[in-house]
Amino acid sequence: MKKYLLFISMVFTISLLVSAQSTADIYCKKGGEKIALQDYQGAMKDLNKAIESNGKHAEAYSKRGFTKYKLHDFQGAMIDLNTAIEINPKLAVAYFNRGVLKSEMADQTGAVNDYNKALELDPSLSEAFYNRGVIKWDLKDFQGAAKDFTKAIELNTKYTEAYYYRGLTKSKLLDFQGAIKDYTKAIDLNSKLIDAYTNRGIAKNNTQDFQGAIADLTRATELDPYQKEAYYNRGISKHYLLDYDGAITNFNKAIELDMYHADAYFFRGKSKKELADFEGALADYNKSLQIKPGNTEVYFCSGIVKTALKDYQNALIDFDAFIQANPKDSNAFATRAQTKELLADYQGALKDYDKVVELTPKEGKAYFNRGNVKYKLQMQINACTDWSKAGELGYMEAYEQIKSNCK
């Protein structure tokens, strides 16, 4: 996330104090002007002169600390910012800049403490709210991050990055409509903010506005033809619009840009499966697992494809792996039971259907399927009991079984 460093250019009145103080002020102001022009070497010279003239000039130390930060001298920057705070413990910008520096040095706790102090001294520092929100985001405190981004926006209604990252935060909180509004505001402020188009497209996918998602993701690729996530997510849009060939074209592009894009291989496999290219789907699933073995959903999809290829034993191995990681997924137990039925393992199927009923006791289909297996095991009375329960729960096909098999 983008972070900000501040410096304060104070307006100095004509002073009748000793000439050393006046000289320090003049050089400090010149240094600030050169910082604004990104002339950091020139700023350093002026700020050195300010400090030579007055070794207790807190603002000069603060600005020189900023300058050293921009020149990647983090250790020197920390020394100067510490000195500025020692001289003037109420210099809010010094705490803020030190917070940025600590964040860069992976001291997030220290950074938050400095942002807190900066805001205590100057509650109008919108950038401090923003940067603190960034840290909360990194720590997965999305509620806290959203509050800080909101405060930053209240202080600066044109804060593009705050709108954008609040959108990201709302997406994490599954408030996709709210996220879309924030991304839209960020785009209104900066029509070339590529990531805002990409993430608004992703949010639209999550609200099933697939055509709207395609429009945003296409715009992102127009602005940056190397936006792999835009191609990947546009592939998802097309997949759910049943344009599987178009989806595959986009997943191909994402993989071309990133050959280790595990999710692109996975979703390309799903699209190939829908086109009955089972061997191609299986190859993509295997590639996805090689790159990202923790994505257990791939095992479930792989099991389905192997079942379609009549490789039932290996399909069961995949379903086992998925269920081990997702022991409360009733659909997985039902699917494994169906595969066991294809192997005539009715006892094994019955155990799985028992689990489905346990997990979904109000689903008529669960009782219906278990009743069918019980009937195959010649457990006619128990089968009829299950079918009766299925019908009671609204699964009307059960009554056909009752009519034919329960006298």
For residue 159, being part of any structural domain is answered with no
- pLDDT above 70 covers a percentage of the chain that reads 95
Same domain, 22 and 79: yes
Mean pLDDT confidence for 79-97: 95
263 and 380 inside one domain? no
What pLDDT is recorded for position 407? 77
Look at residue 22 in the predicted model and tell me its pLDDT: 76
Q: What is the pLDDT of residue 16?
A: 36
Asked whether residue 103 carries a pLDDT value surpassing 50, the answer given is yes
Say yes or no to pLDDT of 19 above 80. Answer: no
Determine phi and psi for 396, rounding to 5 degrees. -70, -25
Residues 369 and 318 in one domain: no
Q: What is the pLDDT of residue 2?
A: 57
* Average pLDDT for 107-127: 96
Same domain, 19 and 83: yes
- Residues whose CB is less than 8 angstroms from the CB of residue 183 and which lie 6 or more positions away in sequence, other chains included: 163, 164, 167, 196, 197, 199, 200, 203
61 and 113 inside one domain: yes
pLDDT surpasses 70 at 401? yes
Which pLDDT score, from 0 to 100, does residue 11 have? 33
Residue 18 pLDDT more than 50? no
- Same domain for 59 and 99? yes
- How many angstroms separate the CA atoms of 328 and 360, rounded? 10
What percent of the chain clears pLDDT 90, i.e. is strictly above it?
A: 91
Query: What per-residue confidence (pLDDT) applies to 7?
Result: 47
Statement to judge: residues 283 and 354 lie in one domain: no
Element (H, E) at 169: helix 160-172
What lies within 8 Å, CB to CB, of 219 at 6+ separation is: 197
Please indicate, yes or no, whether residues 389 and 294 belong to a single structural domain of this protein: no
Cβ 123 vs Cβ 151: under 8 Å: no
Quick check: is 150 in a domain?
Answer: no
Same domain, 323 and 356: no
Mean pLDDT of the chain: 93
* CATH at 352: 1.25.40.10
pLDDT digits (tens, 9 = 90+) for 212-238: 999 999 999 999 999 999 999 999 999
Verify that 3 and 105 share a domain, yes or no. yes
Cite the DSSP H helix spans in 207-327: 210-223, 228-240, 244-257, 262-274, 278-291, 297-308, 312-325
Q: How many domains does the chain have?
A: 3
Instruction: Show the CA angle centred on residue 316, arms to residues 315 and 317, nearest 5°.
Output: 90
- In a domain, residue 362? The reply is yes
**Of 122, 142, 165, the domain-final residue:** 122
Q: What is the mean pLDDT of residues 390-399?
A: 96
Domain that holds residue 294: 259-327
Any domain includes 407: yes
Query: Which of 103, 122, 141 is where one domain is finished?
Result: 122
Residue 191's closest CA among 160, 155, 150? 160
Are 307 and 368 contained in the same domain?
no
Q: In the predicted model, is pLDDT for residue 255 greater than 60? A: yes
pLDDT at position 15 over 80: no
pLDDT the model gives residue 251? 98
Mark whether 377 and 282 lie in a shared domain: no
Task: Give the separation between CA 214 and CA 332, rounded to whole angstroms.
Answer: 31
